[in-house]
Structure 1
């Protein structure tokens, strides 16, 4: 029987190849990241199955992202204090159990509660997976190992809609979550058998216990309150009429107060849950903001492209997801290409090139029309698939540059938290822009639908004649013509609103370019972690 692989990379004869460990942790990370998007194309099924609005259904995505980000900021300390393998197994077991409970949810409240637990558990898996890879490989091979891991992290959000669409169309939306059950159990067995904590990690755990180093409960609570209330404001703002609602005013006040209290606390306390000084530096702070922006674009487009395909083009959930799949294949290839480029080209230039490519992809989507075909959306994801790896891999080298070894775990957690927090913010912003601009465009279009307008009069007569030829009497034909024109106005307003969403995402991506260019040059041996 193969022996377990030590996380320090030290092995004895007959030990399992570390690449097996890389694949195991990549599978677990893939499963966790997959759940950020697998439910996106199933939101219509969830909405109908639970009897809720589409806006409420979107909370299934944002609740997971925010709880995941909250857990990320605490994962580093907990893993060090209680043991990396033990913490990883607990997270994996909890994630698997919560996934099954999500699939068995009976109403919106239960689904959101189980998604929150799922997000908390998943938040500890990705950074610990990175630590396992770092310690399992010698420095000269870590880049290749992290390329495998990077494929899992970047491709999973793209495969999610395809898999979620197939399961929703052919089984039910419940299987978007239930599928994690057997995969999670299998991953649990492999991690238990193949992975163990290195002596250095055990020594660190005993040192923290001996010195009485405790978890920063106050700092964690303040940050969790800030992120949770921020999500509530963004999620409920549109339906509650923003600051005309006392609920939004109170929640926003709590959000601001939590942030205002968190900053001095994190600066003053001896062992803060996060080192907020990292975000204040030019190098890491810029990388943090870049990851926020890219997370917003990745998750928002992965939700809204399938949404427009289903609502405006009549695609099934499966075909809506398939429109994103070719982009995932491009991303997979580009991950390995970028892994080689990052050793030859400064990360700042690769990040800028990636942001420009993503901005072009968003501008390309602004050309959306009612007769856009499947190839149009595949091409848009093709450009996005090129741009994303040009950011995700180089930003690692840039963000770790100049950090002390004891800061790398927190840096990893913060970068991952930025991706998920940005994704939640991106979905909320896009949802609000879509709702507001659709109303605005509809009101603008309706102004031209008056009997005195020659174009409207001619269209009404033409459509009325069409329905009359189909056998309708004069009055019915007129009513049908008016109804048909009303549907066209709604359709046009919807397309124009989606164009506005993609324009905003293009501006966000373009804003990343100057941020990337102000990064300093990275030395010849950047930190290998992703």
Structure 2
């Protein structure tokens, strides 16, 4: 077992999951189910109307299809590192794939909302363990100087998945039915199980560590698990339902927020002192790990927040169809795919600080560019604006994953991967929630500002009303109706631009922390890391 004080460069190849197989083939095998899971976080969004119609429920009820998955995901991700250590990494990975596949089938045949929500909870539990275990496998299979390209593959999974989700979901729903957005996972899951069993190895050193752990006795941290479930589960509920429930005007949201806050504070206090924590909070004492988690949170916030904002803007303000709005994102996805191998190669050769800091600045500038759009833009204007943002994403995801493990003992990779994925998912949820809240608030502000100038003392108002009479007649009601529609459209557009601008400010504030990362050389693992 690697010593807690061992330098990070003392990499142990005995922990590789490739065995005698080509490690790059293993990357493809373990990335496949993770891609399907990441895709599922967004694929159902565009199909909610069809799900509501098919199950004879309201649209608000149908949103529990999304919420239930996110809550289950949020609870299982932070404890997946501990579960993989106790159950066995390969075994836990395969159990997660199997559960995700079976739950996907159950979602596809769901006869009512209750059945579908339960199936989505199971799907979220199965899917939550995939990305952390995959990252742990990659970190143990590739030495630090080669992890860049390995994590570049992971970047394709986590960046392109959410982008393709709405487009693929809309296409499947339009050409088949909403059932197939879930059933499509079944053959992929079966293939993944077969390939994992045949080609992915469970290293002997991990087997020995697990047996030694079992001999000492498995002490299940029930209190830690309860605090994780309450803290992150209720936080997910608060963020996901907050805008719909009018935030703290709702007793439901007030209750979920209070429970979450108390549980998360209790979680930190409890796990910090626990000898065998289910979530290793002490990993955050490592500077690189703490900083990379903050940057991952920011990246998740940008990715998921803008992935919802841009198509929403194109549909609500510019009248795009769901398919065309999705295609505007797809152009950005292509840019990401092209940039991923470059980011992978540079990560293996360049100080990650020189990649992360410029990438955050580019993200901020891309958000600034989005804040300059107007209601007369063409399709390519929106697509190119998204492309500017997307091309920098690999230069965030790949270096983050390479730098996060610097200074950590290899036996901590499973726990570290879990916490890194918590930051990404939590950032995404905060991004989506913040985007919708900011939109609603900015829309009210912009509408009030625009309406203030609509009075007979304003010569522009008088001139417009005179010109409108030639178009719709002398009727004051008709002219006011047209004017109100224009004000609504302009207020909506301005609210999107204001939201992009706020996101930009947040990114610029966070970006300097990337300069405080340590380089790969000479970093020491923290003593006592679990």
User: Normalising by the residue count of structure 1, what TM-score does the alignment of the two structures yield?
Assistant: 0.88
CA 126–243 in structure 1, closer or farther in 2 if over 3 Å, else same: closer
Among 11, 30, 43, the alignment partner of 1:25 is 30
After superposition, what is the alpha-carbon deviation per residue over 1:190-245, rounded to whole angstroms, capped at 9, x for unaligned? 22333342222222222222111233221122122111222232333334333333
- Residues 169, 317 of structure 1: 8 Å contact kept: no
Among 495, 498, 516, the alignment partner of 1:497 is 495
- Residues 37, 303 of structure 1: 8 Å contact kept: no
Among 102, 107, 112, the alignment partner of 1:102 is 107
Deviation at 1:430, TM superposition (A): 0.8
Are residue 146 (structure 1) and residue 151 (structure 2) matched?
Answer: yes
Are residue 171 (structure 1) and residue 156 (structure 2) matched?
Answer: no
- Residues 40, 303 of structure 1: 8 Å contact kept: no
Q: Which structure ranks higher in relative contact order (CA pairs < 8 Å, sequence separation ≥ 6)?
A: 2
Among 405, 418, 424, the alignment partner of 2:429 is 424
SS of equivalent to 2:339: helix
Gaps of 5+ in 2: 1-14, 526-530
After superposition, what is the alpha-carbon deviation per residue over 1:348-389, rounded to whole angstroms, capped at 9, x for unaligned? 221111111111111111122111111112112211222111
Matches within 5 A, 1:9-88: 9-11=18-20, 17-43=22-48, 45-46=50-51, 60-61=65-66, 63-88=68-93
Are residue 514 (structure 1) and residue 512 (structure 2) matched?
Answer: yes
For residues 69 and 243 of structure 1, the distance between their equivalents in structure 2, rounded to whole angstroms, comes to 22
Deviates more, 1:224-233 or 1:107-116: 107-116
For residues 304 and 116 of structure 1, the distance between their equivalents in structure 2, rounded to whole angstroms, comes to 26
Matches within 5 A, 1:356-395: 356-395=361-400
RMSD between superposed Cα atoms in Å: 2.8
SS of equivalent to 2:243: coil
After superposition, what is the alpha-carbon deviation per residue over 1:309-339, rounded to whole angstroms, capped at 9, x for unaligned? 2222222222211111122222122221112
Alignment match, 2:12: none
Alignment match, 1:3: none
After superposition, what is the alpha-carbon deviation per residue over 1:149-183, rounded to whole angstroms, capped at 9, x for unaligned? 33223222222232123223333333322221222
Are residue 413 (structure 1) and residue 418 (structure 2) matched?
Answer: yes
For residues 246 and 17 of structure 2, the distance between their equivalents in structure 1, rounded to whole angstroms, comes to 54
Gaps of 5+ in 1: 1-5, 469-473
Are residue 488 (structure 1) and residue 486 (structure 2) matched?
Answer: yes
Deviation at 1:515, TM superposition (A): 1.2
- Residues 107, 182 of structure 2: 8 Å contact kept: yes
Alignment match, 2:347: 342
Alignment match, 2:310: 305
For residues 452 and 147 of structure 2, the distance between their equivalents in structure 1, rounded to whole angstroms, comes to 61
Count of residue pairs brought into register by the alignment: 512
Alignment match, 1:434: 439
Alignment match, 1:355: 360
